[in-house]
Amino acid sequence: MEIPALALAFGKSFLLALAGVLPILNPPASAPVFVNLTRELDPARRRALATRIGRNVVLMLGSAMVIGTYVLDFFGVSIPIVRVAGGLIVAFTAWNMLYAPHAVSADSADNAEMARKLVDDNHVRIQAFYPMTFPLTCGPGSISAAITVGAALHSRQWPVTAANFAGGLAAMVVIGLLVLLTYRYAGRLLRPLGEVGLVVFLRLTAFILLCVGVQIFWDGASELLRGLNAR
């Protein structure tokens, strides 16, 4: 296998993985929630938390892309089912965000309790995965998209498959880096909005996330219906 062909496979897979996962993960959409839940953290701990979340995103998406299809085959679960389940969870999460009272208020009791938990270093490590990485940043929709991308990277020639997955993993690293940078500088980016603007932005984000969840659900349900009609 010639090097230019492998480089082309790497580039195509990189773009495929980046375009297939990044719009669903959408780091700016969850940035207001991150800012809200880390108000009481000092800058050093907030940066450390953003770094852990970015690393967790790379590990979750990379693992889902590489071994996700094999895990689903082991349990007898199809990609359309993952899309249906992931879409429902994303839509449910977005619905709760859309109608949550005072979701971004600094005086909220829930947010205050979350902030107290995040202050401790041990809790920072724990909260970095749940709920900050999953499902806030990298939810079922992103994971199902990564699994779908991984299923498309297989080839009959193992050098091409290796190049494809190398490109896909490189895209996951870029996505994790974007998450890290977005969260690290989210406070500066959102500060001009003010408290009211942040509430409005969070509601709009929740509505867009709800639409994404419905779209993921519909994609999976449509594929299942087509399979039934083909029988």
Per-residue pLDDT reduced to its tens digit, 118-141: 455 666 677 788 878 887 888 777
The rounded distance, in Å, linking the Cα atoms of 227 and 53 is 38
pLDDT at 15: 93
Phi, psi at 155, each rounded to 5°: -140, 160
Alpha-carbon distance 114 to 93, whole Å? 18
Q: Dmax over Cα atoms in the chain, in whole Å?
A: 61
Are the C-beta atoms of 89 and 15 separated by less than 8 Å? no
* CB of 161 closer than 8 Å to CB of 153: yes
Residue 143 confidence (pLDDT) above 80: yes
What pLDDT sits at residue 108?
40
pLDDT at 92: 81
pLDDT tier for residue 114 given thresholds of 50, 70 and 90 = very low
Q: How sure is the predictor about 102, in pLDDT bands with cuts at 50, 70 and 90? A: low
Report the pLDDT value the prediction gives residue 123, as an integer from 0 to 100.
64
First-to-last alpha carbon distance for the chain, in angstroms, is 40
65-83 as b/e, with b when 16 or more CB fall inside 10 Å? bbebbeebeeeeeebbbbb
210-225 CB burial, b ≥16 within 10 A, e <16 = bebbebbbebbeeeee
**Comparing 133 with 105, which gets the higher pLDDT?**
133
Token pair, residue 220, equals: 């999976």
Report whether pLDDT(69) > 80: yes
Using CA of residue 44, residue 132, residue 183, residue 192, what is the dihedral sign?
Answer: negative
- Give 165's pLDDT tier (boundaries 50, 70, 90): very high
According to the model, what pLDDT value does residue 58 have?
97
Average pLDDT over residues 13-36: 86
Name 78's Cβ contacts closer than 8 Å, sequence gap at least 6. 72
